Amino acid sequence: MKRPKLFFADLLFWLILLLTAGLCQAASPAEPLEEEKRGADVFVTSRAALLRETASPAGKIVARLPYATRLTLLEGADATLHVEVPSDSPAVAAGGMRTGFLASETTAVFDPGAAGTADMMTVGRTLARNPSLRMLGAALLARGVERLRQAASPDPRAELALAEAATALAAEGGPFPAGVAVVERGKGADGKPRFLYTGDSYQRVLDLTAKQDPKVVASLRERALAGLLRSRCPQPYDTLTTLWQETAGWLELTETAQTPSVLRASAERLGCAALPLGRYLVAAGKLDDLSKVAQRAQAASARVAAILPDSRDGAKLAARVEILKAMRGDGTRSFPQESRLTVGGRQVAVRIDGEIGKLKLLVQPSDKQRTTPFLLRAAVFRPTAAPPPGWSSPAHPLCFP
């Protein structure tokens, strides 16, 4: 996916932010720049920056560094910065020259130490909200979180900011800066690759807040749990067991969440997962399980409507629950199910028959003419395997690919 263009308004916004954060020190007394910032983190803020062999503007170009590349400052000056590309950075080919000079106007520099880390997180959070600057924001957040971990002072709010920025960046299709754990997960209907954030920082939020006051960290934990579920279940699955696990996860979150954004998202995903699950339960003949899911989902929809009275999320979920309840039919065995109607004075019987994955809609007129089979594509999704003997509902609320 092509990265959005940077417009003047975006750059002006970023410059104002830097000034507000105290990163521009033009009015400060002159200090030895190279001593103050040696070892600082340097980020490329232009579309591409030229790494030259010498400090001269006409020096030999040894590499073209893409937007949001992170470097380490070796020595600073007013016009140029002597920098080193980290050994694990893909910005320079293996065996290539990893030190050189950059024009300082194409970079943002963050001093080592706690103050520099705080500035990095502040700027990163703000830039990550802007789609055209999100890649740079995610790069800053990734490095800021890494610094906090190295200093043995991990911050769940910082971890959550990184996770949510990475999730949004993955949905946009890239490119992705170093340090952001995004992986390719199949291809979309258009043939383009689909990307998914691994969810590592969401899990760290849950781990870091596990022993804290639940009332203080409730919102953090709800957002992290929703993000983790999205990472593990990016879209409804197509097998009975995984759909049950996914539905259980979103159902539990919809029954407990208080954060409006989390509640809206969980209600939507619950409805998306419950309907295909219902089809599988009908196909497997587990009508009691279907009724239990429908009852809990109906109570959850009422809860959403009560907490979010000005939105349609509760009503939308309730409508899906009605479809789920209707799937149970008359409560008799799932297959074959038969319905009779009169068309043009002739009675016609319509029934569903066949095995899971090979269901057919059979239409037979009363005059005993040949039955016409139609492949019933909408009845159930084609499973990868039939339910195992003695199958029972999984209890774990999370699904794992």
Query: Across 35-174, where does the E strand assignment appear?
Result: 41-44, 48-52, 61-66, 70-76, 80-84, 99-103, 107-110
The DSSP line for 304-320 is: HHHH-TTSSHHHHHHHH
| Tens of pLDDT, residue by residue, the chain (401 residues) | 444 444 444 544 554 455 444 444 433 444 444 444 788 999 999 988 899 999 888 889 988 899 999 999 998 877 889 999 887 777 776 667 789 999 988 899 999 999 999 999 999 999 999 999 999 999 999 999 999 999 999 999 999 999 999 999 999 988 899 889 998 888 877 788 889 999 999 999 999 999 999 999 999 999 999 999 999 887 767 778 888 999 999 999 999 999 999 999 999 999 999 998 998 888 888 888 999 999 999 999 999 999 999 999 999 999 999 988 888 776 666 555 677 777 677 777 777 776 656 667 777 776 665 545 443 333 333 444 344 344 333 333 333 33
- 81: left (phi > 0), else alpha (psi -120 to 50), else beta? beta
Sign of CA pseudo-dihedral 35, 36, 41, 44: negative
Alpha-carbon distance 294 to 326, whole Å? 10
Please check whether residue 352 is in contact with residue 379, taking contact to mean a CB–CB distance below 8 angstroms: yes
On whether the pTM is more than 0.75, the answer is no
Q: Output the pLDDT for position 319.
A: 93
| Per-residue confidence (pLDDT) for residue 279, from 0 to 100 | 87
Note whether 121 and 159 are within 8 A (CB): no
Residue 365 parent element (H or E): strand 360-365
CA 378 → CA 37, 230, 299, 374, 381, distances in Å? 63, 25, 27, 11, 7
- pLDDT at position 14 is 52
